[in-house]
A and B are shown apart, each in its own frame.
Chain A
Amino acid sequence: MAKKKIRIRAKMKGDVAEVKTLMSHPMETGFRKNKKTGKKIPPHFIKEVICEHKGNKVLVASWGVAVSKNPYLSFKFKGAAKGDTITISWNDNKGESATADAKVS
């Protein structure tokens, strides 16, 4: 099992905060087969990613299996200032979850 890691980089560009994040996750589709056993590998993917700033949900992503392994996500929003905390959390179809936060620079 890969480590549940979320890397976040948030930067102010003018009055817009640009957030880039990378999550460690296998994002297994359920279509792939294990080459040795011929059995299907069960799906394992992030369903929802929630990005919060000061308690406001700035972005809620609903994902299917078509999002690539170790997902990358980037978005922009207004109303942030340097030093603000951004919290990103995800939960997947197996009930696992992870949360991380970062300061806007």
Chain B
Amino acid sequence: MKRRTFLKGTVASGMLGVAASAGLLAPRRVLAAWPETAFAAKNIDEALSTLLGDTTPSTSSDIKIKAPEIAENGAVVPITISTGMAAESISVLIAKNPSPLACSFALGGSTLGFVSTRVKMGETSDLIAVVKSGGKLYSAKKTVKVTIGGCGG
């Protein structure tokens, strides 16, 4: 399973991530700057450590990913992430995309743990949702099969 590589923490870069995310906490715990290095990261560990400062989210059953089992068109994959937790942020990563981090949402205090959007997927891959709640990270994943990739023409 991919979980093994997913959970493998890179401690050194984790420190860097903590510093970065501390600086990113704007007045109302909302991300202030676009996390360029996290979006440029080529693997999940790197993306998570620069974005959230941790590469080892615990698996949670309280995160629901609604996405098609089979996406006919990888260019438009509708996804909905919902959680009952008081989420501070919700991030979506696509394991096999050139840059895994697809999108990250910083939620205000009155915002429910719910986001829905559409993403591109280059090929069949795990879709990973990472929720930050109470300073901790939780994740869930779902495999989406893609018949036509979304990165070509």
Distance (whole angstroms) from the CB of B126 to the closest CB of chain A: 14
**Minimum distance in angstroms from A99 CB to a CB of chain B:** 17
In angstroms, Cα B120 to Cα A58, docked, is: 25
Identify the stretch in A1-9, A72-80, A81-89 within 8 Å (CB) of chain B at 4 or more residues. Answer: A72-80
B120–chain A nearest beta-carbon distance, Å: 5
Q: Contact check, A74 vs B108: say whether CB atoms are below 8 A apart.
A: no
A68 touches B119 (CB 8 A): yes
- Size category of the binding interface on chain A: 20 to 34
Cα distance A32–B75 when bound, in Å? Answer: 12
Determine if A37 is an interface residue (Cβ-Cβ < 8 Å). no
Give the dominant DSSP class at A's interface. strand
> Please, which residues of chain A bring their CB within 8 A of the CB of B39?
62, 64-65
Given known pairs A32-B151, A62-B104, A66-B99, the reply for A75 and B111 (CB within 8 Å) is yes
User: B30 to chain A: which residues have CB within 8 Å?
Assistant: 57, 60
Q: Which of B35, B107, B117, B121 contacts A71 (CB 8 A)?
A: B117
Whether, in the assembled complex, B134 has its beta carbon less than 8 Å from a beta carbon of chain A, the answer is no
Known A56-B28, A58-B110; judge A73-B151 contact (CB<8 A): no
A24, CB-defined interface residue at 8 Å: no
In the bound complex, residues from chain A placing their C-beta under 8 Å from that of B97 are 66
A100 at the interface (CB under 8 A from B): no
Within 8 A of A (CB), among B39-93: 39, 75-78, 80
Are A63 and B103 in contact (CB-based, < 8 A)?
yes
> Known contacts being A31-B151, A61-B103, A77-B111, is A68 close to B77, with CB within 8 Å?
yes
> Could you tell me which A residues sit within 8 Å of B by CB distance?
16, 29, 31-33, 35, 47-48, 56-69, 71-79
Interface residues of B (CB under 8 A from A): 28, 30-31, 34-35, 39, 75-78, 80, 94, 97-99, 101-108, 110-112, 114-121, 150-153
7 smallest CB-CB distances across A and B, nearest first, come from A66-B102, A74-B116, A68-B118, A64-B39, A77-B111, A58-B108, A60-B106
A-B CB contact pairs (8 Å), 17 listed: A31-B98, A56-B108, A57-B106, A59-B115, A61-B103, A62-B105, A65-B120, A66-B101, A66-B102, A66-B120, A67-B103, A67-B119, A69-B75, A71-B117, A72-B116, A73-B115, A77-B112
